[in-house]
Amino acid sequence: MPPSPQQIEAQLTSLQQELTACLVDKEKAERNWFYYHNLFDQAPVAYQSLDNNGIFREVNRSWLDMLGYREKTEVIGKPFTAFVHPKWLDRVKEDFPKLKQQGAISGVEYKLIRKDGMFVDVSINGRISYDTNGAVKQTHCLLQDVTDTKRAEDERKKIEEQMRHVQKLESLGVLAGGIAHDFNNLLMVILGNADLALSELSPVSPARENILAIEKAARRSAELCKQMLAYAGKGRFVVQAVNLSEIIEAMIQMLEVSVSKKNVLKYHLAPNLPLVEADISQVRQVIMNLVINAAEAIGERSGVISITSGAMECDTAYLANTFVYEQHLPEGVYCYIEVADTGCGMDDEIKSRLFDPFFTTKFTGRGLGMSAVLGIARSHRGAIKVYTESGRGSTIKVLFPAMPASDRQPRAIPSYADPAFAGKTLLLVDDEETVRTVGRQMLERMGFVVIPAGDGREALDVFRKQADILDCVIMDLTMPHMDGEEAFREMRRIRNDVQVVLSSGYHEQEVTQRFTGKGLAGFIQKPYTMSALRDALQVIFKKP
């Protein structure tokens, strides 16, 4: 029986209501979809979803901005691995199976490739979604750009490593300086007694050659002491305004005979270099050490050693990457000596030990080498830049701060009149008995009346009693009970015109800068000979 019109009308009304409801739900669904999609796309955190094969299904605007893309069509449908730095591919291939097994990952870091070819470090948190059958459906990941954080962390680690190395070098420097100081006292005794013996021996005495050999060996030992002081950063002795190119030019013949004939020396010396304030002998030592090291890196093969001088403007960023940057060097013009070779180069392990004392990749007993170069650079307020790669040679650049233009005039070397020592009374103060003994003999040979003292306290007692008859005091700087600085201060209170010559194994600038403006009469470096002692006293006892 066909439906009645009333039934048909009721069915139509029901269908119309259902259709209206569907339309309302569709509009609501569309609004919800637009709202949530807009929220997803504008989220400040980068998002990506991948299918079970690691192919992009969705990314948001933050992801595109982070990687430098404009449209999603440039990304969707491509594999995630296409955007991963090659060195991280193996890690990605290991991590994603773990993600499928564990269901989630957190804080995993990769390096991704931007559209412009630059790299960005990201930290990824991800989870898996499953279909109704429990199979993996998609991988959903949130990505955070940690490039700046990584860079800051790397910089922090670099600074910490530099500080550890600086502390190690400082500790070794203190040790080297202390050893050099004590060793200089012993050498003073050896050289002084040899000098005294030579002054008594006949020129034809068979013992003369033996004593000359002792003196030669002692002088070579004194040179090693200078290297140790250089490593300790206390190696400048005679500082003057110098031109680095001129120093290299003067050494060309010496350098040519110091390396194998298989090595070709090439020179690129800048003309009209700004002057630097430096000790010429120390700069020569730097050049010689660098060239010898370059020749040894080349070995028995033929190779090229390039020696370059020049000047450059150095900013803080450049100086911060020098070796070792612990002095916060000022920006400005620096002159440099650069020695490059075509030798074996250095790996990271060798480079990290390059400036360790007595370190060598050759046989042992080679001396301080590069550690002395480092000490010389530091004592001249300079720095060292190292470029090297295993199998591809090395380039070492030593930087020296250029003098201000107004100061770039060579310093005159003072001349002294002849001394007149006869009948003068001198107080000799040193805590080493052997040094006092040999020093007393030297001074008495010159015509002095000598009163010895074993330390600052004893010297002060003598000075209080005999200040009126004393013409001069030669005093060691480092002594027990009372050091030379304190004793000097007390003597000046008793008699402010007292003539005091300080004696030390450290260099003159290191010592005398502590007495600037305090009336110090002179300085003599240990170990010294009679002629050196006589020259140091000429300035006080010169003829009228």
List alpha helices for 133-273, DSSP H.
147-200, 208-231, 244-258
Whether the CB-CB separation of 258 and 291 falls below 8 Å is answered with: yes
Q: Which two tokens stand for residue 458?
A: 């004893």
CA-nearest of 412, 414, 430, 431 to 501 is: 430
Write out the H or E segment, with its range, that includes residue 235.
none
DSSP-derived pairing of the beta strands 303-314 and 263-269: parallel
CA-nearest of 418, 394, 303 to 345 is: 394
Residue 400 predicted with pLDDT over 80? yes
498 backbone dihedrals φ, ψ, rounded to 5°:
-65, 140
Selecting from 1.10.287.70, 3.40.640.10, 3.30.565.10, 3.30.56.10, what CATH number does the domain 240-407 have?
Answer: 3.30.565.10
Q: For the segment 154-199, what is each residue's pLDDT rounded down to a tens digit?
A: 777 776 666 666 556 566 555 665 666 667 777 777 877 888 887 7
CA-nearest of 267, 251, 343 to 307 is: 267
Write out the H or E segment, with its range, that includes residue 409.
none
Whether the CB-CB separation of 280 and 337 falls below 8 Å is answered with: no
Write out the H or E segment, with its range, that includes residue 436.
helix 433-445
| Burial zone of 27 (CB within 10 Å; 0-12 exposed, 13-18 middle, 19+ buried) | exposed
Q: For the segment 487-524, what is each residue's pLDDT rounded down to a tens digit?
A: 998 998 999 888 998 888 776 666 667 777 777 888 88
Q: For the segment 260-310, what is each residue's pLDDT rounded down to a tens digit?
A: 888 889 999 998 899 999 888 788 888 888 888 888 888 888 889 999 999
Q: What value does the mean pLDDT take over residues 535-541?
A: 80
Q: Which CATH architecture has domain 425-538?
A: 3-Layer(aba) Sandwich (3.40)
Domain locations in the chain as residue ranges: 1-38, 46-145, 163-231, 240-407, 425-538
Cα 418 to its chain centre, rounded Å, is 46
127 vs 108: CA distance, rounded Å: 12
CA-nearest of 535, 501, 536 to 519 is: 501
Residue 226 predicted with pLDDT over 90? no
Instruction: Give the pLDDT score at 336.
Output: 94
Whether the CB-CB separation of 524 and 536 falls below 8 Å is answered with: yes
Cα 266 to its chain centre, rounded Å, is 27
Give the CATH superfamily of 46-145.
PAS domain (3.30.450.20)
Looking at the domain that runs over 163-231, which CATH code has it been given? 1.10.287.130
Instruction: Give the pLDDT score at 414.
Output: 33
